[in-house]
Amino acid sequence: MKNLFTFYGGVHPPDQKNTSNHPIEEMPIPEKVVIPLIQHTGIPSKPLVSLGDTVLENQKIAEAAGHISVPIHSSVSGKVTDIRAFLHPVIGKPVESIVIECDGKHRVFKPEKTHVDYYRYSPKDLIQVIKDAGIVGLGGAAFPTHVKLSPPKDVIINNIIINGAECEPFLTADDRLMREYSKEVIEGTKIIMYIMDAMKGFVAIEDNKQPAIEIFKKIVFNEPNIDLAVLPTHYPQGAEKQLIKVLLNREVPSGGLPLHVGVVVDNVGTAYSINRAVKEGENLYNRIVTVAGNGIETPKNIKVRVGTLISDIAKFCGGTTKDLAQVIMGGPMMGIAQTSLDVPVLKGTSGILFFTKNDIIDRQYFDCFRCGKCIRVCPMELFPNALSIYIENGRIDEAKAFHPLDCIECGCCAYTCPAQRPIVQQIKWAKTQINKK
């Protein structure tokens, strides 16, 4: 067990982990999948298939278009029926996507080689395997994992943190993954440690996940270089900068990355996927997703194929309720509201939440009270109130003095604001304007 420090700010929203005791169910193969070519941070992938092509499950259908890019694989066997712009659930506008009509035959592309004895291969070889498998961070950011595992040569990584905090309310996909695939998560952790030549690893779990904690206590007892860190439930405990502060008392500098303090942080789902890719030759084309909220008839944790439409997932979960008012992809704090159910699951989709009218707060907002609550809860120690006021008045250059690019978009400011100001949305918009210049 690891002695813990603490981080500034944060909030304690109700857990709402109502699906934590729902085992993972595998969703049946849908009739079609829509696979966007933007599935990750960085450059969109380039399609390798054409209309009419027959593809296999696990087969590469799009290639990486640069260093910060990854290939994409078919999540089903079937026929490519369209390649066109389709509404993207995160970007909110149509992007080029590959549409595959499933043949129902479950034909799988088998790799020529796997790397079961991974320690017989060089870290460079394994990083290439991870890239070829299309693995990205599964905690939400979807940053290409092979890039994260390729720091500059002069950087020494001495700690690996496997993030099982899952601090967002409602989401329990990582919790179930840790309970049901704990050994695979640890094996993925060991692969990452081998690649990075790191002597110490941590599996970090919030203390509201006692069954998972008990499982990992027994496993890490036999792993001398891996510790279990039980974290107090505190949002946004799972943000990597806050996680590093809590576990190691190291502060990532403004504009810096975890590698600058000798740390790599990966989600438990990423560790699991790395193990599957290295040892089984399985590319990243499915993931665990929490389906929850009062607007869905039967909440579940499901193993779902990338490209499956939310409308098909809703049917599998018994359909939506009559008073459904909003659908959010992700968690309630950082997730993105959807305008349609005909949008696909992405590699980074951790949850789909269905909310009724009674669950939604009227977002009419007022002038800032100068109460300072947002300052007290901001885990990055920013001044969200000043940012909000400057941005609202179009004074972006003046807002830069308050470091909007350091915002991790956790939503604590908006959550605690008595004037219900959309502070995090304003900051996100300002970041896009700054990055354009």
Contact 429/391 with Cβ under 8 angstroms?
A: yes
DSSP letters spanning 95-139: EEEEEEEE-SS--BPPPS---SSGGGS-HHHHHHHHHHTT-B-TT
Q: Using one digit for the tens of pLDDT, what is the confidence trace for 258-299?
A: 999 999 999 999 999 999 999 999 999 999 999 999 999 999
Does the residue 132 lie in any domain? yes
- CA Rg value for the chain: 21
Residues 263, 412 within the same domain:
no
- SS3 label, residue 380: coil
d(CA 290, CA 18): 10
Q: Using one digit for the tens of pLDDT, what is the confidence trace for 39-54?
A: 999 999 999 999 999 9
Identify which of 296, 289, 293, 349 has the alpha carbon closest to the alpha carbon of residue 321: 296
Q: Using one digit for the tens of pLDDT, what is the confidence trace for 318-377?
A: 999 999 999 999 999 999 999 999 999 999 999 999 999 999 887 788 999 999 999 999
DSSP letters spanning 27-54: PPPPSEEEEES--SSSSPPEE---TT-E
Does the residue 226 lie in any domain? yes
Contact 420/365 with Cβ under 8 angstroms?
A: yes
Residues 148, 260 within the same domain:
yes
Does the residue 151 lie in any domain? yes
d(CA 83, CA 408): 34
Tokens of 308: 């499956």
Residues 242, 385 within the same domain:
no
Tokens of 340: 């349609």
Q: Using one digit for the tens of pLDDT, what is the confidence trace for 192-248?
A: 999 999 999 999 999 999 999 999 999 999 999 999 999 999 999 999 999 999 999
Residues 377, 257 within the same domain:
no
Helix-strand-coil percent breakdown of the chain, rounded to 5?
Answer: 30, 20, 50
d(CA 235, CA 12): 6
Contact 58/76 with Cβ under 8 angstroms?
A: no
Report how far apart, in Å, the C-alpha atoms of 152 and of each of 86, 148, 155, 157, 429 are. Answer: 37, 10, 6, 10, 31
> What is the number of H-type helices and E-type strands within the chain?
13, 17
Does the residue 358 lie in any domain? no
Residues 161, 270 within the same domain:
yes
Cα 101 to the chain's mean position, in Å?
A: 27
The tally of domains found in the chain comes to: 2
Does the residue 419 lie in any domain? yes
In sign, the C-alpha dihedral spanning 421, 384, 407, 413 is negative
- SS3 label, residue 255: coil
Q: Using one digit for the tens of pLDDT, what is the confidence trace for 406-422?
A: 999 999 999 999 999 99
Of 280, 306, 331, the residue that ends a domain is 280
Does the residue 420 lie in any domain? yes
DSSP element (H, E) containing 354? strand 351-356
Range of the domain at 247: 118-280
Q: Using one digit for the tens of pLDDT, what is the confidence trace for 90-123?
A: 999 999 999 999 998 889 999 988 999 999 999 9
